[in-house]
């Protein structure tokens, strides 16, 4: 756990190669450590493709062959580190991939209420709301995100465009 915390600090300081080394060591030491695998996945996501990093780490590092188990691993990681929204997002991602849209909404809704500047979660939740005709709820989430400080500009422009496209 100390190595993971140090890795997070190193990452925040922009020392990603050192953070990656520590996280890879933590995952290699215990391949079933979901928190370490997801921290590594998220670090890799900062450098490359987010969904690819999460998917690759869950499938390869956690050695899961049954897709229905991935949300449980994510849930455990979220329970162990409740202040880290990335774990709840990963859980929703796998719930959605497994066809559990209602479960994904149930995971994303409190996440977005607590972290309205989490752009990926906002876009995923609102995509589900829009798909099911829940336009009013989508608009509320978009509006809340747009007035939030800390929302990265690339998400702000996407969210604003999707908000303006709502009927």
Query: What torsion, rounded to 10 degrees, do the Cα atoms 89, 95, 101, 104 define?
Result: -30
Q: What is the mean pLDDT of each run of 10 residues along the chain (167 residues)?
A: 76 81 83 72 67 52 47 70 78 84 92 91 91 92 92 90 87
Q: Yes or no: say if 74 and 91 are a contact pair by the CB < 8 Å rule.
A: yes
- Tell me, yes or no, whether 89 and 137 share the same domain: no
- Tell me, yes or no, whether 95 and 28 share the same domain: yes
How many CB atoms are closer than 10 A to CB 119? 20
Domain with 23 in it = 3-7+14-99
- Tell me, yes or no, whether 24 and 73 share the same domain: yes
111: which 2 tokens?
């996440």
Q: What is the CATH number of the domain that holds 165?
A: 1.25.40.10
- Tell me, yes or no, whether 91 and 104 share the same domain: no
Overall pTM surpassing 0.75 (yes/no): no
- Tell me, yes or no, whether 110 and 132 share the same domain: yes
């Amino acid at each position: 756990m100390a190595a993971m915390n140090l890795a997070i600090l190193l990452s925040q300081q922009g020392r990603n190669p050192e953070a990656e080394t520590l996280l890879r060591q933590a995952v290699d030491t215990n391949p079933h450590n979901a928190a370490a695998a997801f921290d590594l996945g998220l670090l890799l996501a900062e450098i490359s493709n987010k969904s690819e990093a999460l998917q690759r780490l869950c499938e390869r590092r956690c050695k899961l062959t049954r897709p229905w188990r991935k949300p449980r691993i994510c849930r455990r990681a979220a329970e162990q580190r409740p202040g880290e929204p990335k774990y709840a997002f990963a859980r929703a991602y796998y719930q959605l991939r497994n066809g559990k849209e209602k479960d994904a909404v149930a995971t994303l809704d409190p996440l977005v209420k607590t972290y309205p500047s989490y752009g990926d979660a906002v876009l995923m939740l609102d995509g589900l709301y829009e798909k099911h005709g829940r336009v009013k709820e989508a608009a509320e989430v978009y509006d809340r995100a747009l007035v939030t400080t800390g929302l990265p500009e690339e998400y702000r422009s996407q969210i604003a465009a999707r908000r303006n496209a709502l009927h």
